[in-house]
Amino acid sequence: MVETVTFSDGHTMPTLGLGVYMNEECAEACKVALQNGYRMIDGARLYKNEVQVGVGVRQSGVKREDVFITSKVFHNDFTYDGTTAALKDSIANLGSCKSCTFLRIFTAYKTGTSGSLDGKAKGMIKSVGVSNYSAKHIEEIREAGLEMPVVNQVELHPFCQQKPIVEYCRKNNIVVQAYTPLVRGAFDNPLIQELSTKYSKDAAQILIRWSLQRGFVPLPKSSQPERIISNGQVFGWDIEPTDMAKLDALDRGKDGAVTWNPVDVD
């Protein structure tokens, strides 16, 4: 199952990850995912479950260096010292972050970005990215003379395709991760049901496969072992171009978002 994408800094990341948002007891989910082919866990300090992620990785039997973990520094730590302390704490929680990418959440505070980049330079983490950043936010990083992020994580699914920031990221060689790719379980759309029947796949698999074929890195979330396993069974088959176009036509822009979507916030 391990397909990868290459960052602008030369490092690679799996093209599918397990999300652990709002799953405080996520050790079992992480273990099941890793034992069934996943090699990336998408977490955050705000989720308060980094210790559980570390436990799940150890219990899985998969080598820590073979697991890519994403964590995120929240705005409370957006100072140089705060970000540095957050990195050290996450390393303690996760058991090494040399296969980690750290994301900056929401808005571009240059001192915090510097702290993340210094952590990368010291070998504490592998890569540095952002989450929920618009082109304006990322340009603030460029204007400060700092290294550009390698990845931007935003809400993405057929109903909310975030075309302006996706286009910007592609032009600037920034990988796009898709959170909430399953639209929080809103599978009752007639087209999704139709395609589920046509391809003999469940609705979640159709949505994840759409994301992969659009060149995104989806991060489906589940705590149920059977759902985690089926969500990973999205390789070795394709949605036909005509059906991809039908899914593309579901886009409702901002109105299609199912989370608080701060990409356009100043």
Cβ–Cβ under 8 Å, residues 137 and 164: no
Cα gap 145→126, rounded to integer Å = 20
The region, left, alpha or beta by phi > 0 then psi within -120 to 50, assigned to residue 265 is: beta
DSSP string, 169-203: HHHTT-EEEEESTTGGG----HHHHHHHHHHT--H
- Cα-based distances in Å from 141 to 84, 111, 129, 149: 18, 10, 11, 8
Active site residue 38: no
Cβ–Cβ under 8 Å, residues 192 and 203: yes
Cβ–Cβ under 8 Å, residues 92 and 129: no
What is the Cα Rg of the chain in Å?
Answer: 18
- Set 21, 38, 47, 133: catalytic member: 47
Pairing of strands 100-105, 68-73: parallel
Cβ–Cβ under 8 Å, residues 157 and 206: no
DSSP state of 148: P
The region, left, alpha or beta by phi > 0 then psi within -120 to 50, assigned to residue 41 is: beta
Place of tokens 């977490």: 43
Residues assigned a catalytic role:
47
